[in-house]
Amino acid sequence: MTRPRGAAARGVFPAVPAVRAATIRDVAKRAGVSVSTVSRVVSGTGYVNADTRRLVEKAIAELGYVPSASARGLVARRTGTLGLCLPDAGPAAHLREPARTGSGVELITDDGTAPGGPAWGSLYFGEVVRGAEFAAWQAGLSVIVAVARPPEAEARARDLAGRVDGLIVVAGTLPDDVVEHVAHRVPVVLVAGPRPAGGYDHVGVDNARGVQVLVEHLVRAHGIRDVRYVAGRAGTPDDIGRFRGFRAAMRALGLPVPAEPALRGDFSRATGRRLARGLLAEHRGGRSPMPGALVCANDETALGFLDVLTAEGFDVPGDVALTGFDGIDGGRTSSPRLTTVEQPMTGLGRLAVDVLRACLADPRLPRQDLLVPVRVLLRESCGTH
């Protein structure tokens, strides 16, 4: 019975006024004890008489009392919450429409291009959330998930910083000056992207080691010697790291180390197709033999190559082995299935939280820059099986 009798007595009906939530004082009064006793019962600290405790617990249950995190956070100077700031990636156009309700059912002939598919799923940010939430849960912390959407991204980020004990920011989601501003208040961990200049913690994916292990596998296990790297968009940290791994592998294998990628795309499937057509034209013009393997900067690029190669009658991996990077679903269902390096997105989220916790526990610790190890998934496109 939290509904104030006053309202009913006054005949206000059927209006149910917003009842103010019970406070620790209400509980104390109802249990006939002081607020400190209630506090002790709730927090489990200090000694409380068993009978008194029961009395208090009864009052708590009856009133549906829940301690205010605002008040707790104010006195404790910590909120017990971490913030996770994600980029606004993915086709969110269909989200912009007003939410629909009611019984209208759309009948859609899906020719494979229907909009509205899961965008987070394919872009993995959901996985970062999952990993971060789990690590935070282990530490008894909550996570606020925030997507940095252009118009008011800065103001929102500042607001978020006021709500949390630490902030995880995916690289490129916020302007540098905003990151610097909020870093005055809470520790910030940057995720992915380039190693940050300032004094921030950073966690990334071990791009280089992933490609290196993959290339060494191609050469050692499959005896391929003419391995070529198909780059992604120039200047991106991912592309740089992956090409570095490629060169490291070639060096370690005693093979010629290229100064530049054999081909350069932009991470897109369409460009992968275009590059593939160019390669085939050269090959058919007799200007160059087909390489033994194409190591692509990402799965989309590799799938673009696969589209063209199989359409043109080439055997993958017989004529040319093909590998990607990311571990997207399309590479699991292609034929042949795509050998790739899996992006450890849950691992990124978890590690970011762990790094943040370390900084929270002791801010004097030196800033960290950690890489999450990857897994190389060997499937048919490289000749495995």
Size of the site for DNA (CB under 7 A): 33
Choices 46-54, 198-206, 329-337, 360-368; region in contact with DNA by CB under 7 A: 46-54
Task: Verify binding: residue 207, its own copies, rule CB under 8 A.
Answer: no
The DSSP call for residue 218 is: H
Q: For residues 237 and 274, is the Cβ–Cβ distance under 8 A?
A: no
How many of the other CB atoms lie within 10 Å of CB of 380?
17
Decide whether 70 or 333 has the Cβ nearer to DNA: 70
Task: Verify binding: residue 50, its own copies, rule CB under 8 A.
Answer: no
Task: Verify binding: residue 67, DNA, rule CB under 7 A.
Answer: yes
Task: Verify binding: residue 154, its own copies, rule CB under 8 A.
Answer: no
Decide whether 34 or 138 has the Cβ nearer to DNA: 34
Task: Verify binding: residue 75, DNA, rule CB under 7 A.
Answer: yes
The DSSP call for residue 68 is: -
Phi/psi at 273 (nearest 5 deg)? -60, -45
Task: Verify binding: residue 71, DNA, rule CB under 7 A.
Answer: yes
Which of 9, 50, 105, 197 is in the footprint of its own copies by CB under 8 A?
Answer: 105
Choices 20-28, 233-241, 284-292, 299-307; region in contact with its own copies by CB under 8 A: 20-28
Q: Which of 140, 220, 264 is nearest to 384 (CA)?
A: 220
Task: Verify binding: residue 367, its own copies, rule CB under 8 A.
Answer: no
CA distances from 283 to 286, 312, 361 (A): 5, 12, 59
Buried b (16+ CB within 10 A) or exposed e, 340-360: bbbbbbbbbbbbbbbbbbebb
CA distance 227 to 243: 12
Phi/psi at 32 (nearest 5 deg)? 70, 30
The CA-based diameter of the chain, rounded to the nearest angstrom, is 95
**Footprint of its own copies on residues 161-200 (CB under 8 A)?**
161-163, 180-186
Which of 5, 77, 287, 364 is in the footprint of DNA by CB under 7 A?
Answer: 77
For residue 279, what is the enclosing H or E element? helix 269-284
Q: Is 116 exposed, middle or buried (0-12, 13-18, 19+ CB in 10 A)?
A: exposed
**Footprint of its own copies on residues 310-339 (CB under 8 A)?**
329, 332-333, 337
**Footprint of its own copies on residues 53-92 (CB under 8 A)?**
61, 63-74, 77, 79, 81, 92
Which of 171, 213, 240, 358 is in the footprint of its own copies by CB under 8 A?
Answer: 213
Which of 37, 55, 127, 173 is in the footprint of its own copies by CB under 8 A?
Answer: 127
| Angle subtended at Cα 330 by Cα 327 and Cα 335, rounded to the nearest 5 degrees | 110
Task: Verify binding: residue 18, its own copies, rule CB under 8 A.
Answer: yes
Picked from DNA, its own copies, none, the partner binding residue 43 (CB below 5 to 8 A depending on kind) is DNA
Q: What is residue 39's three-state secondary structure?
A: helix
Decide whether 141 or 320 has the Cβ nearer to DNA: 141
**Footprint of DNA on residues 19-38 (CB under 7 A)?**
20-21, 23-25, 32-37
Task: Verify binding: residue 171, DNA, rule CB under 7 A.
Answer: no
Which of 8, 12, 61, 76 is in the footprint of DNA by CB under 7 A?
Answer: 76
Q: For residues 62 and 68, is the Cβ–Cβ distance under 8 A?
A: no
Structure tokens at 357: 């916790």
Decide whether 51 or 111 has the Cβ nearer to DNA: 51
